Structures are given as structure tokens and as C-alpha cells.
Amino acid sequence: MATQFSPNDMRRGQVSQSGSPRPKNHTICRNILIYGHCRYKDQGCAFNHDTNQNKGSPIQEHQQSGKKALNVESPSFTPITLQQAAKKSTFSSQAASAAPFTPRGPSANTTPNPPQAADAPVFNPSNIREFQPQTFDISNAGSPNNQSAANDSTYSIENFGMAPIAQALPPPVPFNPYATSEHSAISSHGAAYYQPQFATPLAPPQYHLYAPIGPYREDLLPYQRVTHDFFISERLRDELQKKSHATLQTMPNSPLPQLEKYHSLFPLDTSNRKNTAIFGYPSWVFKAVSSKDGKYYCLRRLEGYRLTNEKAIHAAREWKKVINANVVTFHEAFTTRVFQDSSLIFCHDYHPLAQTLYEHHFATPQPHPRGRGLGPVAIPENVLWSYISQLSNALRAIHHAKLAARCLDMTKIIITDKNRIRLAATAILDVVQFEATQPRPVADLQQEDLVQFGKLMLALASSTPQADHVNNNIQRYMDSLPMKYSASLAEAISWLISPPAPGDKTKHIDTFISNIAMHVMNSADQALRASDSLTSELTRELENGRLVRLLCKLNTITERGEYAGEVAWSENGERYPLKLFRDYVFHQVDDQGRPVLDLGHMIRCLNKLDAAAEDRITLVTRDEQSVFVVSYKDLKLLLDRSFNELLKRTKQAQNSPGTVLVPGI
């Protein structure tokens, strides 16, 4: 049963909207209004219980008095929940007879609203429509099935007085890390609500901070670093050092002659046999230093070659145009008699520790992976595809330069890195067979290249180094291919080997490349990944060169014996903090007096010195009697000033040999 309002409850409503107290006996008791009688009428209820005095509702009364209908004196509105509404209505009998609710909107034109005072909106509880939950899927509003719902203004979003979201929000500002952080720029969007998107001003790069670039080691705790994190990997260092050692290798008491433009010849042939199979002349390969630029080159000597036509040697010049990652760059060809004969010399780039494909795969018998003794091991298919892609790249460059390789032999293709191959003996046959091939069109020679390419791959895939063996049994080897490799590899080799139909101009290296595009992409991906890992290695060394130069500077200043007694260069003056800094960085001891060899500390200190950081450090004299508190910035200033001082004293001639350490570095 509904509880009647007690007079005490009504006290809250005793202040009119204007703020002035209103006499209670003019106000009709709400219990009368709601229940028709008031239990407290005779028990002190101060409100008016005379229903005849005011025939109208209190609302009408307010209308008459010109007051706003909805104020604190209005009958209290009790919101109902759905369940409560289902149980019982708290509305009065007036509410029951109220006109049904008609939503506003376009339909209002056809269905008139109940009459209301035009100027003053009247609060009428009967106008309150109970909330009816609706299942309306906005996302489907546009679908044909929901078209009627979408058209129904009851569900229109405008009816709820809401602007579409896109209008309510300012247009999105694209993120630009390089944008200036001026506040005006941000406030110009008029949205104080939004945080500035990139408020930090651009600062110069912090060179003393190492930015780790992947791939990363997984087995370390997140904060751990090892010494090798600051240097290139041991494997790469070893490889590069071996190459550098091979480059610098000399032969004491060498019987080899000195050429006009090249000296310090060093033989690269591992066998002493005189093989004439490829060029028709025995060939010998040397590493040599150019007298002109001091760089290392690879010289190939064709023994006993007699030049009869000057044009032949000029034919080789065309090869200078071919600059390709899979072709050893050709430089020049000349004849010489320094070997006590008439020799033809070809000069190419030198690639230290290069091996021919033959040497790599067949020269040293390899243990069989399944323990079946020694012998040639089948080359994995991905390696073969990598070779195919690289040789295609080389042939493409050569054919587009209107030349032909003519020398696709596994003893004339070198491996300079893991699976990285290059055509090594270019230009030679163009000179040596100049007269013989002169009448032949280049297109024919290029077709021959494709066939040679196919036979080379067949020999590698069948682990058969003898070219003539393969030549005589092509079909047999082709038949055995599908047992070891995919059909696509067999198809590619077969396409290369089979001669083109007469008049068929589609047999071209470009056609071949487009046929194997998928495998070329794999090779490109491998090459890019290799390049990524090299870049990562390089970044480790990035700062070290800078630190070496800093160390050189520091050591030119500290402990100079010749200036020890000089007041101008006294180590008790400006140079003293630098000397103490050197002790602080490199000669630290622990509380037991044992040396602390913390590479991280050394690198950190040197980097901060180089970056002239504001951090302060405490430098203690060796006798522990004085202490200096000094910032890296101050030390950097002292370092630069002292080094400049040294430079002034230097009588170094501008053209003196050697590398000059300049102050700016």
C-alpha cells in the first residue's frame, strides 16, 4: 500500500520558485490530490484540505498564477522501474485518463499533440511515457529489412538531440613526429580536451646512447649486456680478419716478376696443373697491388697468348660497362712479356678467400650427412635456387649490355661469401676467340649462355663436376632430378637446356626470370635479411670509431713527459682534471684496492665525455688529499682546449704522410 506523505516530508517544498515562503493553507495537500483524503488533516497538517476551494488541479492553479508549472511544489515524481511499473502504477487516476503519448517528429503533423499552453510548457505526469526497451540495431538501419525502422522518426538519432559523432568531434589530426610542438598549432584545433600529440621539442640525437637494433640474443635478462654487444660478432670479425690477412699476405723472395702497373704478385691457384680446357691456353691467377692506387686486384695470365689483332683487346673494354653484384668487375686487359713469354693479362676485382664453385662443392670430399663415407653431398634445393637467381641476374646484366658470358663453368664462378656467387672470368673469351666468333651474332652466343647455364645447374644438381660427363648423359641426369628435387627445378633446368624452336624469340633470360619469379623473390628476401643482420652488426661498431678518436685525443694530452716541467702545460693546471679523469675511467679500484675492469663503466664515461654531459663526477687525487667535483661538460672543454694547444705547438707540415688528427673529431 502506498504511504501517505507526512507533513514533515512536505517541509522541503515550502520554498517557492521565487524563493519567498508561500502560505501553506493555500497549497492543496498532496495527499488529497493523490489519495482523495489526508490522514493528517486533523493531526496538524498545515496544508489546504478544502477541495471545493480550488476546483482545478495545483497545476491549473499555477497556470492561473502565471508561475512555471514545474517547481519544487509540484507533486513529487517517483520514477518507476519496469518491474514496478508492471506491478502497479503510482500515477493518479488523472494520469490514467491522460491522452496517450505521441512522439514528436514528422508524424506530429498528422497526429496532433494534446493541447498545451503555447507559452508555458506544463509538466503533466500523464505525459510521461513509460520506458519501453527497444531492440533496434543501428548498424542494420540501412538494410532493406530495416528500412521502415530507419525511416521511423521515433528511432531517428535527431530525435534525441544528438549530433552525429563525426560532427561533434574535431577532425582527427594525423600524427606527425616531426611537427613542431608549438602550442598555438595545437590550440588552433580548438580542443583543449585533447592532449598535445607530440609536445616534446626535437632534441639533437644523443650520440652517447646506444640504440640496439635486432636481431637480439634471447638468453639474456632484459638489463644484461655482454662485451660483444659493443662489437661485431666473433664470427664476422674472424671472417673479415681472415680476408684482410689474405689480402695483405705476401710471398717472401717471390720469383714472380713485377709488372709495369702491378707489383707484389701472389699466386691464387691452388693446383699447379696447366689446364687449357676453358680458354685454350693455360691460365694463372694472381693477387697484385696496383702501383697507381695501391689497391688489390686479381690478375689472370693466359700463358703463351700472341696478340694478332689489336681490335681483339679492345673488345674487352665493353665489359667495363657491366657493373653487377654477381659479376666480378673487369678493369683492363693488356699483354706483357715479363713472364718470359707473350702473355695476356686480365685485371678484375680481387675478392679475398674466394673459392670456385668446383672447389667449394667438389674439391674436398665432404663427410656424408648420414655417415655413408666421404663424397660429394647433394646441394640443397634452396642453395641451387639461390645460384640460379644470382646467375640469372648476372646474365641479365651481361645480355642487356649486348654481351655474352661464354664462360659459365663451375671453375670460373667464385663464391665470395655464404652462397654468394660471381662470374669471375668475364671478357676473356671475347679477346681470345675474337677472330673465331667475330662472324657470329651475339644473340647466338646468348642462347649458348642459357644452354651452358642449364648444363651447369644440372651438373651441380647431380653432384657431377665433370662437364663432359653431363654433356654426354643429359637425359639420364635429367631423369634422375625429380628423385632429389622439386618438379619446378627440373622444369627450369630443362627449359634452359632445350634449344629454342626455330624462329622462337621468347627464349631469353628475361623470360626465364619471369618464369622463376617466385624463387627470385626468395633469394631477394634472403639477401635483404643478410643485409639486415650486417647492418645490425655495423651499429654495434658505430660508436667505437668515435671513442677511439676520443681516446687518441685524451692520450695525446695526459702524461706528456716533455712538457712536465712547463708551467704553461703543467699538469697541476688545466691538464690535471683530465689526468684524474683518465684514472677515474681506467684505473678504478675496489675497496680492497683490486683493479675494477668494467668495460661498461669505461664506455659510459667516454661517451658522456664526448657528449659533454652535464653529469658531475668526483675526481680524487692519487694521494687522496683533494677532491674535484667536475662535470663532463667542463672536462670536454678542457680536453678540446688542451688539444688545440697541442695543435698550435705542432710543427706538422701540411703534406706530411700519415693521418692527421684534426680537432673537430
Task: Give residues with Cβ within 8 angstroms of 379, minimum separation 6.
Answer: 361, 460, 461, 463
Q: Using CA atoms, how far apart are residues 495 and 492, in angstroms rounded to an integer?
A: 5
Closest C-alpha to 431, from 509, 355, 347: 347
Q: Which stretch binds ligand ATP (CB under 6 A): 177-185, 200-208, 262-270, 334-342?
A: 262-270
Q: Using CA atoms, how far apart are residues 460 and 203, in angstroms rounded to an integer?
A: 56
Q: Using CA atoms, how far apart are residues 459 and 141, in angstroms rounded to an integer?
A: 69
354 is in an annotated binding site: yes
Name all contacts of 216-221 with Cβ < 8 Å and 24+ positions apart.
none
Q: Which stretch binds ligand ATP (CB under 6 A): 181-189, 255-263, 271-279, 473-481?
A: 271-279
Q: Does residue 406 bind ligand ATP (CB under 6 A)?
A: no
Q: Using CA atoms, how far apart are residues 85 and 82, in angstroms rounded to an integer?
A: 5
Q: Which stretch binds ligand ATP (CB under 6 A): 179-187, 217-225, 407-415, 580-588?
A: 407-415
Whichever of 414 and 478 has its CB closer to ligand ATP, that residue is 414
Q: Which stretch binds ligand ATP (CB under 6 A): 18-26, 217-225, 345-353, 646-654?
A: 345-353
Taking the complex as a whole, how short is the minimal distance between the CB of residue 429 and ligand ATP, in angstroms?
Answer: 13
Whichever of 388 and 424 has its CB closer to ligand ATP, that residue is 424
- Among 93, 224, 271, 272, interactor with ligand ATP by CB under 6 A: 271
Q: Are the C-beta atoms of residues 300 and 346 closer than 8 Å to each other? A: yes
- Among 278, 401, 513, 647, interactor with ligand ATP by CB under 6 A: 278
Q: Using CA atoms, how far apart are residues 57 and 55, in angstroms rounded to an integer?
A: 7
Contact letters for ligand ATP, residues 116-155 (x by CB under 6 A): ----------------------------------------
Q: Does residue 411 bind ligand ATP (CB under 6 A)?
A: yes
Whichever of 254 and 270 has its CB closer to ligand ATP, that residue is 270
Q: Using CA atoms, how far apart are residues 379 and 158, in angstroms rounded to an integer?
A: 73
Taking the complex as a whole, how short is the minimal distance between the CB of residue 342 and ligand ATP, in angstroms?
Answer: 19
Task: Give residues with Cβ within 8 angstroms of 448, minimum separation 6.
Answer: 404, 406
3-state secondary structure 516-584: CHHHHHHHHHHHHHHHHHHHHHHHHHHCHHHHHHHHHHHHHHCCCHHHCCCCCCCCCCCHHHHHHHHHH
Binders of ligand ATP in range 279-318 (CB under 6 A): 283, 285, 298
351 is in an annotated binding site: yes
- Among 414, 431, 481, 509, interactor with ligand ATP by CB under 6 A: 414
- Among 50, 182, 269, 559, interactor with ligand ATP by CB under 6 A: 269
Q: Does residue 437 bind ligand ATP (CB under 6 A)?
A: no
Whichever of 349 and 381 has its CB closer to ligand ATP, that residue is 349
Helices (H), 467-516: 467-472, 474-484, 487-497, 509-515
DSSP three-state, residue 266: strand
Whichever of 53 and 270 has its CB closer to ligand ATP, that residue is 270
In which residue are the cell numbers 666473433 written? 234
Name all contacts of 606-610 with Cβ < 8 Å and 24+ positions apart.
606/547, 606/550, 606/551, 607/207, 607/208, 607/209, 607/543, 607/547, 608/208, 608/632, 609/550, 609/581, 609/635, 609/636, 609/639, 610/207, 610/208, 610/546, 610/547, 610/550, 610/636
Other C-beta atoms lying within 10 Å of the C-beta of residue 48: 18
Q: Does residue 350 bind ligand ATP (CB under 6 A)?
A: yes
Q: Does residue 356 bind ligand ATP (CB under 6 A)?
A: yes
Alpha carbons within 13 A on the beta-carbon side of 616: 5
Q: Using CA atoms, how far apart are residues 429 and 440, in angstroms rounded to an integer?
A: 13
352 is in an annotated binding site: yes
**Residues that contact ligand ATP, how many (by CB under 6 A):** 23
Q: Does residue 326 bind ligand ATP (CB under 6 A)?
A: no
Q: Does residue 359 bind ligand ATP (CB under 6 A)?
A: yes
63 is in an annotated binding site: no
353 is in an annotated binding site: yes
- Among 33, 59, 328, 457, interactor with ligand ATP by CB under 6 A: 328
Amino acid symbol at 301: R
Whichever of 47 and 286 has its CB closer to ligand ATP, that residue is 286
Q: Which stretch binds ligand ATP (CB under 6 A): 110-118, 122-130, 355-363, 382-390?
A: 355-363
651 is in an annotated binding site: no
Strand order in the sheet with 355-356: 355-356, 413-417, 420-423
Structure letter (DSSP) for residue 422: E
Whichever of 22 and 243 has its CB closer to ligand ATP, that residue is 243
Whichever of 155 and 319 has its CB closer to ligand ATP, that residue is 319
Q: Which stretch binds ligand ATP (CB under 6 A): 353-361, 457-465, 481-489, 541-549?
A: 353-361
- Among 299, 384, 395, 424, interactor with ligand ATP by CB under 6 A: 424
300 is in an annotated binding site: yes
Closest C-alpha to 299, from 289, 286, 290: 286
Q: Does residue 351 bind ligand ATP (CB under 6 A)?
A: yes
- Among 62, 301, 348, 553, interactor with ligand ATP by CB under 6 A: 348
Whichever of 360 and 546 has its CB closer to ligand ATP, that residue is 360
356 is in an annotated binding site: yes
Other C-beta atoms lying within 10 Å of the C-beta of residue 547: 17
Whichever of 408 and 414 has its CB closer to ligand ATP, that residue is 414
Other C-beta atoms lying within 10 Å of the C-beta of residue 596: 11
268 is in an annotated binding site: no
Q: Using CA atoms, how far apart are residues 620 and 603, in angstroms rounded to an integer?
A: 20
Q: Are the C-beta atoms of residues 346 and 427 closer than 8 Å to each other? A: yes
- Among 313, 354, 427, 478, interactor with ligand ATP by CB under 6 A: 354
Q: Does residue 355 bind ligand ATP (CB under 6 A)?
A: yes
Distance in Å from the first CA to the final CA of the chain: 95
Angle (CA) 38-39-40 rounded to 5° is 90
**Residue set of the binding site for ATP:** 300, 349-356, 411-412
**What is the contact surface with ligand ATP in residues (CB under 6 A)?**
268-271, 275, 278, 283, 285, 298, 328, 348-351, 354-356, 358-359, 411-412, 414, 424
**Residue set of the binding site:** 300, 349-356, 411-412
